[in-house]
């Protein structure tokens, strides 16, 4: 039965026009979603990245009944929810959703006007501190785990809020990395704290003693030989900050990884560089 939100009768038969707005929790099967999508409507252009993210969440079993509604107009056409319906069709997964019928088409202008909840907001609700830094670091760690680099690519799937929360629960030691990489001295390097936090966490999981030594020397800088890879990295970060040309997260991460690899191998270096473009682009370095 449809739940009446306004006192009018309504029979959903695909042809009768409903009067008033009504809501119902429904199971949206791929067949039902395809039927709704086949009805002509004036929706926004399809965002393929959003669809892929929804498909991935549905396939992982993360999709839940959260009160967000799929909306249909008095003629059964989709007013809001086409990306969710496309994802249902592409994933082959049946979801449960609130469906609101009888929404006038001109109501579209007022939809999606609220501020969406961020991953940082989700972490805060679950009692975590330093939520902005934590969410950003987890996102980078997961991106490196999935793709082997720190590139920001608009076509890539990004970690979902559910995945970021799950990682926060799985990685309580990340708190140590956050505190270490937002400390006073390392802030003087003026490089992304979230990137340094992610790298500190990854390095620590490889060798905790080496990670402590690496970041202690990167912090202090004293007593380092000119060809020490940590000294070279430190000078590069400081010079970039002084010139007000802060390195991008991707470039800074690549240089830090190169310095870490050289430090672990006992190699001396005179300079650190990374050239991802040009005729012979260099691959993103692998953490060793």
pLDDT confidence bin for 185, thresholds 50/70/90:
low
Average pLDDT over residues 28-50: 87
Q: What is the structure's pLDDT at 15?
A: 42
Hey, where are the domains in the chain?
A: 3-110, 119-265
- Is the Cα torsion angle 209, 212, 215, 220 positive or negative in sign? negative
Is the distance from CB of 132 to CB of 119 less than 8 angstroms?
Answer: no
| Averaged pLDDT score across all residues of the chain | 86
Report the candidate in 161, 172, 66 with the shortest Cα–Cα distance to residue 120.
Answer: 161
Q: Quickly state the pLDDT bin for 222 (edges 50, 70, 90).
A: confident
Please state the length of the chain.
Answer: 288
Query: CATH assignment of 3-110, given 3.90.1530, 3.30.750, 1.25.40, 1.10.10?
Result: 3.90.1530
pTM: 0.69
- Cα 73 from Cα 83, distance rounded (Å): 16
Nearest alpha-carbon partner for 201 in 141, 272, 264, 284: 141
| Statement: residue 7 has pLDDT above 70 | no
pLDDT computed for residue 17 by the predictor:
43
Sheet strand arrangement including 3-4:
3-4, 22-28, 95-101, 69-72, 78-80
The residue written with tokens 């050239």 in the block is 275
Q: Give the pLDDT band of residue 38 (cuts 50, 70, 90).
A: very high
Residue pair 78/41 in contact by the 8 Å Cβ criterion: yes
Average pLDDT over every residue of 85-114? 79
The C-alpha atoms of residue 158 and residue 167 are separated, in whole angstroms, by: 14
Least confident of 14-18, 83-87, 117-121, 269-273: 14-18
């Amino acid at each position: 039965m449809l739940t009446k939100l306004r006192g009018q009768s309504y029979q959903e038969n695909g042809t009768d026009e409903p009067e008033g707005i009504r809501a119902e929790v429904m199971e949206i099967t791929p067949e039902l979603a395809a039927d709704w999508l086949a009805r002509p409507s004036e929706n926004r252009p399809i965002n393929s990245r959003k669809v892929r993210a929804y498909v991935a969440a549905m396939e992982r079993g993360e999709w839940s009944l959260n009160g967000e509604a799929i909306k249909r107009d008095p003629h059964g056409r989709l007013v809001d929810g086409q990306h969710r319906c496309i994802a249902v069709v592409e994933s082959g997964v049946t979801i449960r959703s609130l469906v609101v019928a009888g929404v006038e088409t001109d109501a579209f202008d007022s939809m999606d006007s609220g501020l969406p909840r961020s991953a940082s907001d989700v972490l805060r609700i679950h009692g975590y501190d330093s939520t902005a830094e934590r969410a950003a670091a987890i996102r980078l760690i997961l991106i490196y785990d999935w793709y082997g680099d720190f590139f920001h690519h608009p076509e890539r799937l990004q970690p979902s809020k559910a995945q970021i929360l799950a990682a926060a629960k799985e990685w309580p030691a990340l708190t140590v990395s956050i505190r270490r990489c937002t400390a006073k001295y390392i802030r003087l390097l003026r490089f992304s704290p979230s990137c340094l936090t992610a790298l500190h966490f990854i390095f620590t999981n490889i060798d905790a003693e080496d990670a402590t030594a690496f970041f202690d020397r990167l912090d202090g800088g004293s007593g380092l030989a000119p060809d020490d890879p940590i000294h070279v990295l430190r000078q590069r970060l400081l010079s970039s900050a002084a010139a007000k040309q802060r390195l991008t997260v991707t470039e800074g991460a690549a240089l830090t990884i190169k310095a870490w690899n050289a430090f672990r191998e006992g190699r001396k270096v005179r300079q650190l560089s990374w050239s991802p473009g040009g005729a012979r682009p260099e691959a993103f370095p692998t953490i060793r």
